[in-house]
Structure 1
Amino acid sequence: MNCAGKVFVVTGGGAGIGRATVLELIRRGARVAAVDLNAEGLQETADEAEAGKNLSLHALNITDRDAVLALPLEVTEALGPADGLINVAGIIQPFIHVEDLKFEQMEHVVDVNFWGTVNVVKAFLPGLKSRSEASLVNVSSMGALLPVPGQSFYGASKAAVRLLTEGLYAELLDTSVTVTEVFPGAVATEITKNSGVETSDHGGDTSRATSPEEAGRVIADAIERKRFRVMIGNDARLFDILSRVAPKRGITMIAKKMKDLVTARAKEVGI
């Protein structure tokens, strides 16, 4: 699928991977509707894109189902019918164990990561199926391949996104819609801050993390090549291999590596 001339909707377009994906698609000649809860972040994306009428901004909460269901018409009026949907928006949990998470914290993660994705998919899928070719991309996480202690519930929500995406792939095999699932590893974004998770060092060293720009390029390439499954970063590729070859060993290795970090986070929040 050639991105040039196509209309894409990107959630989480106000920062991080979402913003980078918006900018990459614009660079490839697409028209993009950027969706985000943060209106200021969306404006920063627009300032960087300098895309004029090829970019529309939509400040809304993807957990607001009525607002999301009204979005396809808004996008059509601004840019034309959507040819592609990229669900990037998501949040992490505090870096603590599931037993220490409050129910409202867990519910918020599921509302954004899973139900938010469901809302947007349900809103745009009928229109995508009417296009001669279309793309549906859902961003999961390497945490959906193997659990990361301190992010177990986040990983569970992203695993739900993974299975939803694979189910959609099966259901849409005989349609014009290509379905892609994306598993990013560590990407140098501000997801910790944007998720409202307070830490002294924003979750650790990001010097080895994949850049958002690289993540955006990988996603755009996956759309153009009609790929089903995409890993972003060597860490995600390692998680993928371990999850299939030696899952128990992989889980144990990650747990040992994360033990000190989770203990430190628990102390920060007084647990």
Structure 2
Amino acid sequence: MEELIPSLSAYLLILTRVTAFFVTLPLFSYRAIPATQRIIFGALFAWMLVYSIDVPGLEVDGTYLILVVKEAIVGLTIGIIAFIIMAAIQVAGGFIDFQMGFAIANIIDPQTGAQSPLMGQFFNSLAILLLLALNGHHLLLDGIYYSYQFIPIDEVWPAFGSAGVVEFVIKTFAASFAIAFQMSIPIVATLFLVDLALGITARAVPQLNIFVVGFPIKIGVSFIVLTITMVVMIEVMKKLFEFMIISMRNLMVLLGGG
């Protein structure tokens, strides 16, 4: 019984970090996955981690409650960084929809429950399938395991609130916005030229109803450019996944005081 109590206390701490990680982590936090299955999977994964990492003896006292809060914050923070980077795909779709004229036709994303642009939903579905094809979900689970090497389970309070962590989050957000702009710039730039050509046409031929003609032209040109640049989009998504994994690791290092 005395040996069971430290193991149980360590298991609860690991379960706290794992479940908090799944709350914000892309793919695992989507509503398409039932909450019951996520809880069961998190409990089984935490049970495996108990026997996979070096867990010290922990006593249930006031310090233990602080460790529980710390584990929850660690899981949420690492998952949020991954979510911010994956949100670049939705932002890129929003840029494209605004130029195509689809910005007024937002739909409800069944995975997150939020409104999503049409092209953003398409890119997001493509990114999820690509992530699964590249076994990126395995790398995300590896991130939970290796987080205990950078942020020990018995460390009372890592480097939360330090200037390095805040600066890292800001730079990551800016980099995500830059990646979204890179994904959307081929179509956005092409549609800008189309708008310029339509504007010249409207001045040259005032009798032509440019609003009626321009809308289907912009949609057709957008799909043509999207088809041509699809390979480039997939390569950018691969770089985005790599950036996500590296950012998660760097954040773990910073939170661990490294």
Report the TM-score, using the length of structure 1 for normalisation.
0.28
Structure in which a larger fraction of residues adopt helix: 2
Query: Which structure exhibits the higher relative contact order, with contacts defined as CA atoms closer than 8 Å and separated by 6 or more residues?
Result: 2
Q: Which has the larger radius of gyration?
A: 2
Report the TM-score, using the length of structure 2 for normalisation.
0.29
Structure in which a larger fraction of residues adopt strand: 1
